[in-house]
Structure 1
Amino acid sequence: MTRFLREHGQLTDDWVPAFEAAPRAAFLPELIWAHDMRTSTNQAVDRRTDPADWERVAHANVPVTTQWDDGAHEGPDPGRAPTSSASMPSVVTRMLAALEVFPGARVLEIGTGTGWNAGLLAARLGDERVVTVEIDEAVATRARPALQGAGLHPEVICCDGRDGWPKGAPYDRIIATAGVREVPVAWLEQTRPGGLIVGPWGTHFGHEDALVRLTVAEDGGASGPFLDWVEFMKLRAQRLDWDLFEHHVQEYPGDADVSTTSLTSAELGAANRYDGTTFILGLLVPDCTHLVNERDGVTTVWFFDRTAGSRAWASVVFRPEGERATVYQSGARRLWEEVVRALEWWRAVGSPPLTSFGLTVTADGAQRPWLGGPAHPVPAVTLRE
C-alpha cells in the first residue's frame, strides 16, 4: 500500500515512516466489508476463511467497513448502515497532508475507529502528542490493543467527539474522521489561535461531504477553503433524523401544486453525487433535505423542509421517455422554486468548482459558506407563499 500511494503521488516522504510503522492491516478485525465505489456495494471478507483475499483488501486503496448499525448487527451480510470503518488510504493521506503537522504539534483526533489514523499520527509525532476520542466503547476497546500491538500508545478516550477533549487542550491541530453538519464550538475553543481544524463538512441537503481546512483566529472563529470531495459516516450527534419527515406527505400527490420543468435529473446531480451539484445546492437552500428514488426507470427527486413545524415538500418525477418532468409542490415554502433559483445563481456566477468555496465558523457557532473569500457569503434562497 505504501508503495502504491507513493507511486501515485498520494504519500509524501515525510509520512512514509509512519505508514511503515502503522500498516492498516494491523488495525483491521478479522471480518471486514470491502466497499466498491462504482456499485456502492459491500463484500464481506473473513480472514479466518479466506486469508489471501483479506490481505488483498487490507492493503488495497478501498474503504473498509468494520461495524454496522452501531454494533447491533451480526453475521457476514452487510447491515443497514455502516457506522465505523477504515477510510480509503488515499483519503487518509489527503487529510493528513492538509493537517500540516510539525514536530511537537499536539493533535486531537475526533473518531478513533480502528485506531489506524491515530496510530499514524502517533508514529509521526509521538504518543504523548496525540489524543483520540471515540463515542463507541466497543470500537474504542478494539482500537486500544491494535495500537498497543503496533507499539503505539496515544491517549484513547471514550466520549462524544462533539465535545472534543478539553483536558488536553489547547491543540495545534484537530482532525475529524466523521462528517459534521456543524463544526462544534468546543473544537474552536480547544484549538490555539493559528491552529488548524481539518475534517469533512456538509449540509443535511445530502450525504456528501467536502474536506475543509479551517484556521482558527484570535477572535475564536475559524475560516478556510473546501479542498476536495469526501464522504464519511456522520458524527452521531449530528446524524439526520429521517423521522422528521414522516408526516410531510400524507397522500401523494394529494392537493400539491403541479407544474413541469425542462431541467433534467442530471442537472440536479442525481446521476453523480460527486459532480458537486447537490453539495452546492445544500449551501444555497437552507434547512432542506433531498433524496433520490429510482424505480422501473423512473427517477423521483424529493425535497423536504427541515424547519420546525413545517411540512413543506416537493418532488420532481423524471421519466425515461424524455418529456418534461412533473413537479409537485406542497406547503408554504416553495422548495422547488428555491432549488431552481439556487441553480440559476450558481450558473450566473460561472458554475465555480468546490475549491472556490469555503466556510467561516463564528465563535458562537454560526456556519457561513462563502465564495471566493469570507467577505463574500453565498446567498441563502428561501421562498414562501
Structure 2
Amino acid sequence: MTSHPDPDEALAGLLDEIAGQLGHPVPAHLQAALRAVPRHLFLPPTLWLRDGNGGHEPCDREGDPDRWWRAAYRDAPLVTQFAKSPDGHRAPSSSASMPSVVVRMLMALNTRPEHAVLEIGTGTGFNAALLSYLCGADNVTSLDVDPELTRRAQRGLKASGQRPHVVCADGAGGWPPNAPYDRIIATCAVRTVPLPWLEQTVTGGLLVIPWDTPWCNFGTLIATKQADGTAEGVLAPYGSFMLLRAQQVDAELRAVIPREREGRQREGQQPEAQEPERSMTGLSPWSVAGNDLDAQMYIGLRVPGAWHVWDTEVADAHTRLWLADGRTGSCARVDYDGQQTSAFAVAQYGARKLWDEVAQAYEEYVAAGRPGVHRQRLRITLDGRSTRHEVSVVSGTVA
C-alpha cells in the first residue's frame, strides 16, 4: 500500500529546488511560512499536469497518489481548473503558481507584520495563507471573482489554520472596506493597472503585479505609489500569469481573427476591402516572436494592442506569422516559404502597418543593447478614471 511522503521531507526538496532558481537559499522568514503552510492542503484531488505534447492530463490523488504528491512539492505550476473558452475549447482557468515565483513575489513585496495587504486572485488560497502567516490574518484581504475557487480556498485556509478575509468579488475594483493597503499583490496579470488599486494603496506602498501585453505574457511590475497618486517601478524577469478577467476582452480574438481572415483568403476573398500593402523583409519573424522573451516584452510594450499567432496550416506558405490588432481591425502576415531564410514576404492590411511597427520596435531594441526585461521601467499615470503607462529603458537591475 502506497502512503504519501512526509511533508517536511517533501518541502526540504522543494526548498532546494527554489534555492536553485533564486541562486541563494530561501530567506528564513519565507522558509518558516512555507513550513507553517503546507502546499498540499490547497490543492484539489485532481491536478492537471503537462503531457509533453502541449496539453494537460489529469492526475488524481486517489488513483496515482505518488505522482500527485510529487507534483504537489515540485517547483512547477499546476493547473487546478479548466473552463470553456469562447471558441468552445477547454482552457486552464486557474492554477497553483510555481513556488519559486511565489517566493520571488513575496520577496519583492517586502512585507512586515503590521502591513495591510490586498491580494487580487485568491486562487487556491496558498498565497493568502502565506501572507496571513507573515502579516497576520487580520491584515490580509484576498479577492477572487470565482465563487467555486473562493469556497475551495476557504476550505484549504481553514485546514491550514490561517483565516484571512476572503471575499468573492471582482478584483479589478479592489476592496474599499479594508483600504488603504500598504501592499497590493496580484496573482493574475494586467495590461493596465486598475485605478482602484492605486487609489487604495498608501503613499510609499508597494504594488507587485504580473504584467501582460497582447504580444507577450511575461514579467512582474514592482512599483511604488508616489505622493502625486502615480506609481513607478521596474519589471522583474519572472511571472507568466492568466490575465485579470476584467481585461480579457480581446483575448478571444487570438485564435479567431487569423483563421477567419485565412478562410476568406482561401475562398478567393481578401481580408480587407483594399489590396494589402506587400513588401519583403530581411527581419526573421522568429526574431520578434520566437524564444527571445526580452525582445518580445520590448515589442509588446512599444506596439500597444498588437498580438501574434503562428500558423503552419496554410496552403501558400510553409509557416506564417499573423499579427493583428482587434481594436482597429488591422492585421499583417509574414511568410516563410520553407527555403529562404534571408527574405520573407509581408502583407499588411488596415490602418496600422503592424509589421512596420514591430520591425521598428525591434530595431530600437537592438540599438538599445537588447535590454533585458529588468531594464524596462514603467510609470503608471492617471488618465481620468483609468490609468496609462509610460515606458523607458534604465540601466538598473531588479534583485
Normalised by the length of structure 1, the TM-score is 0.88
Q: Does 1:236 align with 2:245?
A: yes
Q: Is the 8 A contact 2:212 2:243 kept in 1?
A: no
Of the three residues 316, 319, 339, the one matched with 2:337 is 319
Q: Is the 8 A contact 1:127 1:152 kept in 2?
A: yes
* Deviation, structure 1 residue 126: 1.3
Aligned-residue Cα RMSD (Å) equals 2.4
Q: Does 1:133 align with 2:143?
A: yes
Letter in 2 for 1:154: P
Q: Is the 8 A contact 1:2 1:11 kept in 2?
A: no
Q: Aligned partners of 1:259 and 1:71: how far apart in 2? A: 35
Q: Aligned partners of 2:388 and 2:69: how far apart in 1? A: 45
Counterpart residue number, 2:228: 219
Q: Does 1:66 align with 2:80?
A: yes
Q: Aligned partners of 1:166 and 1:231: how far apart in 2? A: 27
* Deviation, structure 1 residue 372: 1.6
Give the 3 Å change call, closer, same or farther, for CA 292–240 of structure 1 in structure 2: farther
Give the 3 Å change call, closer, same or farther, for CA 17–139 of structure 1 in structure 2: same
Question: 1:277 is paired with a residue of what secondary structure?
Answer: helix
Q: Is the 8 A contact 1:196 1:214 kept in 2?
A: yes
Q: Does 1:300 align with 2:314?
A: no
Q: Aligned partners of 1:170 and 1:35: how far apart in 2? A: 40
Q: Is the 8 A contact 2:295 2:370 kept in 1?
A: no
Q: Is the 8 A contact 1:131 1:155 kept in 2?
A: yes
Question: 1:194 is paired with a residue of what secondary structure?
Answer: strand
Letter in 1 for 2:37: A
* Deviation, structure 1 residue 240: 4.2
Q: Aligned partners of 1:94 and 1:345: how far apart in 2? A: 30
1:118-162 deviation line (CA, Å, top 9, x unaligned): 011111221101110000001001110110011110010000000
* Deviation, structure 1 residue 361: 0.8
Q: Aligned partners of 1:225 and 1:148: how far apart in 2? A: 36
1:228-269 deviation line (CA, Å, top 9, x unaligned): 132111110111423496498343683322222222232113
Q: Does 1:46 align with 2:60?
A: yes
Structure 1 range deviating more: 365-374 or 131-140: 365-374
- Aligned residues with identical type, % of pairs: 37
Q: Does 1:86 align with 2:86?
A: no
Greater share of helix: 2
Counterpart residue number, 1:369: 391
Counterpart residue number, 2:364: 345
1:17-52 deviation line (CA, Å, top 9, x unaligned): 11011111110000011247x764323110011111
Counterpart residue number, 1:17: 32
Q: Aligned partners of 2:381 and 2:134: how far apart in 1? A: 31
* Deviation, structure 1 residue 298: 2.9
Counterpart residue number, 1:148: 158
Q: Aligned partners of 2:194 and 2:141: how far apart in 1? A: 17
Of the three residues 16, 30, 40, the one matched with 2:45 is 30
Gaps of 5+ in 1: 73-78, 375-385
Q: Does 1:113 align with 2:123?
A: yes
Structure 1 range deviating more: 182-191 or 358-367: 358-367
Q: Aligned partners of 2:192 and 2:54: how far apart in 1? A: 26
Letter in 2 for 1:329: Q
* Deviation, structure 1 residue 367: 1.5
Counterpart residue number, 2:5: none
Counterpart residue number, 1:182: 192
* Deviation, structure 1 residue 299: 2.5
Of the three residues 268, 282, 287, the one matched with 2:305 is 287
Letter in 2 for 1:60: R
Counterpart residue number, 1:382: none
Letter in 2 for 1:201: W
Of the three residues 209, 213, 221, the one matched with 1:203 is 213
Question: 2:371 is paired with a residue of what secondary structure?
Answer: coil
Letter in 1 for 2:376: F
Of the three residues 272, 281, 294, the one matched with 1:276 is 294
Q: Aligned partners of 2:124 and 2:318: how far apart in 1? A: 40
Question: 2:182 is paired with a residue of what secondary structure?
Answer: strand
Question: 1:229 is paired with a residue of what secondary structure?
Answer: coil
Q: Aligned partners of 1:345 and 1:69: how far apart in 2? A: 39
* Deviation, structure 1 residue 170: 0.7
* Deviation, structure 1 residue 70: 6.6
Q: Is the 8 A contact 1:2 1:16 kept in 2?
A: no
Q: Is the 8 A contact 2:294 2:371 kept in 1?
A: no
* Deviation, structure 1 residue 285: 1.0
Q: Is the 8 A contact 1:357 1:373 kept in 2?
A: no
Give the 3 Å change call, closer, same or farther, for CA 64–227 of structure 1 in structure 2: same
Counterpart residue number, 2:281: 261
1:277-305 deviation line (CA, Å, top 9, x unaligned): 22111111122222222349933111112
Letter in 2 for 1:350: G
For these two proteins, the number of residue pairs brought into alignment is 362
Give the 3 Å change call, closer, same or farther, for CA 233–298 of structure 1 in structure 2: same
